[in-house]
Amino acid sequence: MNRIDDDRLASYLPDLIATRRDLHAHPETALQEVRTAGIVADHLRAWGIEVHEKIGVTGVVGVLHGRRPGRRTIGLRADMDALHMEEHNHFAYRSTVPGKMHACGHDGHTAMLLGAARYLAADPDFAGTVIFLFQPAEETASGAKAMIADGLFTRFPVDLVFGLHTDPARPLGEFATRTGPALAGALSFRAEFRGTGGHGGAAPHHATDVTIPAAQFMLALQTIVGRNVSSLDSAVISVGHVAAGSSASPNVMPSEFAVAGTARYFRTDVLRILKDRMTEQADLLARASRCSGDVTINEGTPPLVNSPDGCAAAIRAAIDTVGEDHVDGERPLSTGAEDFAYFVAERPGAYCWMGAGPGPDGVVHDVHTHCFDFNDATLAHGIRYWVNLVRHTLDD
Ligand SMILES: [Zn+2]
Ligand SMILES: [Zn+2]
């Protein structure tokens, strides 16, 4: 296997940094990534890569066959969308679009995958096929689903699929991943309690009072985590919104009480426990007060679960890129959620984090904050990681 040609890779970087900063200056949010997708498609075509556009609205797929014969195919994914945020940076390539900003590094993810595509297209020294997946709408957890619904994996079947995300909290030059669940599944819920309501001061005994089961329900939610979910598993349930009655009429008992919130979990059996117990608690507590209680649950992103073979391939590519001492193969679980979870729910694969370190001011600006910027010093690491992953995984 060829070593990575440092000089050739270095010769790509000025163009890639310019592309990355151009994307940063022109952020596009979920399913509106038309300019970004056009730039991606134009670059891929210029390098002789087969291009398929508008897969999942604005998604782009590139197909590259290796020089050597092989049956296996892997998918490499970059996300392209920006966030609805105001940028507080003052450098020349700051966002030109009010209220929109590349605050999650997806400009850099797109540039890194373009860099890897260019490198591999110029020297396709691998066996099999690489699919480059440029996905829209990661931040709204809708782009991966849109691409899959558009037949992504039936039109472009892959054996393994991989994702890579910048991580400012981790030092520059480090990689991290973990096998099994890595990021949480998310759900939102809304419980509606209904009773008669009535005169709270004079005649509560003539009414049914929804405030009692609603209050009991909010306390009972925490017993689900403590008493129903195994102590060896984990889950989070939080109430973020309550609505009942009128502040102008505190002597009137409301007839409706809504309690809404979010939950996070790592296993589908835990999801089932959360759903079943929330529904039971609302119903039984409401009936004890002669009210009704109904829960609506919207399942969001599923847990992101790295497959053992995908994770092993990711760790090996990371070690090839930065050396064993700089790779954490047992990254702690995180209760964050990621749209890539939908891809690894369909096909085995792995999601990996790449350390970016603090910004030029020496401060760690986390993703989704107003002074975040993708660290261009990580571009070469990301490209090396992708190229190493392709060469090793497809040569197995
Ligand atoms: Zn994000
Ligand atoms: Zn992101």
Q: Is the pLDDT at 350 greater than 80, yes or no?
A: yes
Query: Which residues are in the CB-under-5-Å shell of ion ligand 2?
Result: 104
Domain contains 1: no
User: In terms of domains, do 318 and 283 share one?
Assistant: no
Q: Is the pLDDT at 346 greater than 70, yes or no?
A: yes
State which residues form the domain around 235: 185-298
Per-residue pLDDT averaged across 206-221, rounded?
A: 97
User: Cα separation of 134 and 375, whole Å?
Assistant: 20
User: In terms of domains, do 84 and 192 share one?
Assistant: no
Per-residue pLDDT averaged across 233-245, rounded?
A: 96
Per-residue pLDDT averaged across 179-200, rounded?
A: 95
User: Cα separation of 158 and 277, whole Å?
Assistant: 38
Kindly state the tokens that stand for 345.
């729910």
The alpha carbon of 373 and the centre of ligand 1 are apart by a number of angstroms equal to: 12
The alpha carbon of 187 and the centre of ligand 1 are apart by a number of angstroms equal to: 17
Residue that the structure tokens 């910004």 belong to: 359
Kindly state the tokens that stand for 199.
């005169």
Residue 349: enclosing H or E segment and its boundaries?
strand 349-355
Residue that the structure tokens 């890897």 belong to: 116
The alpha carbon of 372 and the centre of ligand 2 are apart by a number of angstroms equal to: 12
Among 279, 298, 317, the domain-final residue is 298
The alpha carbon of 295 and the centre of ligand 1 are apart by a number of angstroms equal to: 29
Which bound ligand lies closest to the C-alpha atom of 368? 1
Q: Is the pLDDT at 1 greater than 60, yes or no?
A: no
Kindly state the tokens that stand for 50.
């087969």
User: In terms of domains, do 40 and 153 share one?
Assistant: yes
User: Cα separation of 343 and 133, whole Å?
Assistant: 11
User: In terms of domains, do 211 and 328 share one?
Assistant: no
The alpha carbon of 355 and the centre of ligand 2 are apart by a number of angstroms equal to: 13
**Domains contained in the chain, number:** 2
Among 298, 332, 352, the domain-final residue is 298
Among 255, 281, 298, the domain-final residue is 298
Residue that the structure tokens 């929330």 belong to: 278
User: In terms of domains, do 49 and 191 share one?
Assistant: no
* Residue 219 DSSP class: H
Q: Please report, as a single letter, which amino acid is at residue 315.
A: I
Contact of 142 with 340, CB cutoff 8 Å: no
User: In terms of domains, do 167 and 309 share one?
Assistant: yes
Q: For the domain that residue 26 is a member of, what is the CATH number?
A: 3.40.630.10
CA distance to 171, 181, 328, 329, per residue, from 332 (Å):
16, 10, 9, 9
Domain contains 93: yes
Average per-residue pLDDT in the chain? Answer: 96
The alpha carbon of 346 and the centre of ligand 2 are apart by a number of angstroms equal to: 20
Quick check: helix, strand or coil at residue 136? coil
User: In terms of domains, do 205 and 222 share one?
Assistant: yes
Domain contains 14: yes
